[in-house]
Structure 1
Amino acid sequence: MAKKELQALVAEQKILNRIYVIRGEKVMLDKDLSEMYGVETRVLNQSIKRNLKRFPKDFMFQLSEKEFKNLISQNVTSSWGGTRKLPYAFTEQGVAMLSSILNSDTAIEVNIRIIRVFTKLREYALTHKEILLQLAKLEKEVKGNSK
């Protein structure tokens, strides 16, 4: 495997590890996104507040206290030590919208990678669903033949 391919795979895995399922949605948190973009979380959130119309509830939401505690408990090696505000979660559409307010080369490159990972997740889910449907069909056939 070439060095560039390996780096891309590592970057993809890093993104994948930062996608959580909250409220039934695959999301990324402001803290993780700001780290990937190379900006402080405070700066990211200020940019969002200046452009709130771009982020409806199905693009972005703030975690509840309970959701945040649950998230921390799932991540044994938590780095959430000094967090004073509940984090914001961004759906795939919210992450895509971030590219319209963060115009640095880094943000654009990171967004492209994140969107590609979300797309792969969707493709894997569809493939998995198709396999399960085929398995169920085969199971029915086997049961029908054994009678």
Structure 2
Amino acid sequence: MFLFQDKPLSPDLQTLLDAVALLDISEFRLFELAYRAWYGNDAGSRQLEQDFADYMFCDEVPIWVRHYARGVVKQAALSQSGKFPYPPKDRPADSASIRRGLRVLLGLIFILVFLIVVSSLSPEWLQFGNECYFPPCY
């Protein structure tokens, strides 16, 4: 038995949470999809963050999110199978971002290999003596 009872969720909040569970996405992602469906373009980061902050701290669900969430729940109820193609597919990553990611990965690998080589050869270079001061040799 709990000392404090949670207040019941509003129907709008419950519908939003049901839609998030059905689509298996985050609440913020639902806001992005709802904005794209309602306005026809991607949201600006400031506007979406402000609307999401109002939702998180004040439990205010914008009309476009409410409409989208109701559509998701309604489509799921009409669908016979568990899968339904309601959210639009994400755009595939462009080749420029893939190339940039590979360059960053190769740079990190190069730095790691360089640090390993320097740490293994440093006793000979610094000539502290015949002793190794790094963890493998104590």
Question: With structure 1 as the length reference, what TM-score do the two structures score?
Answer: 0.27
* Structure label with greater radius of gyration: 2
The answer to which structure has the higher strand fraction is: 1
Select the structure with the greater relative contact order (CA < 8 A; seq sep ≥ 6).
Answer: 1
Question: With structure 2 as the length reference, what TM-score do the two structures score?
Answer: 0.28
